[in-house]
Amino acid sequence: VQLQASGGGLVQSGGSLRLSCTVSGFSLHDNVIAWFRQAPGKEREGVACITRINSDTYYGDSVRGRFTISRDYAKNTVYLQMSSLKVEDTAVYYCATDESVMANMVPLDRHSYKYWGQGTQVTVSS
């Protein structure tokens, strides 16, 4: 199982950015896929996810209405479209996956995931 996150960068407050997570070694049909982020000195927090069951999507309170998660089965890629970015969105963003029931039940809990990609830095300037 491999996950490769990309698309991070520097953007001004109010701007947009799209992150990509290209996966291999499993099917997007079978696993929960999630985005997490971690700012310096803070715990890793769940941002968005798509569950295996019913393809339900969930978002963290701080990003709901601004971020959108989606997936392209043909490209084996999951996207995180981020809009109306704020300085407080600055963090390293990670994608993660798991096939377990726990991940479907508690999809924004970092402890639900075994497989992680490397992070991609997102910096939002004021």
What is the reported pLDDT for 76? 95
pLDDT at 103: 85
Q: How far apart are CA 49 and CA 47, in angstroms?
A: 7
Each of the 126 residues of the chain gets a pLDDT tens digit; together they read 999 999 999 999 999 999 999 999 999 888 999 999 999 999 999 999 998 767 889 999 999 999 999 999 999 999 999 999 999 999 999 999 998 888 888 899 999 999 999 999 999 999
Element (H, E) at 91: strand 91-98
Would residue 119 be called left, alpha or beta, if left means φ above 0 and alpha means ψ between -120 and 50 degrees?
beta
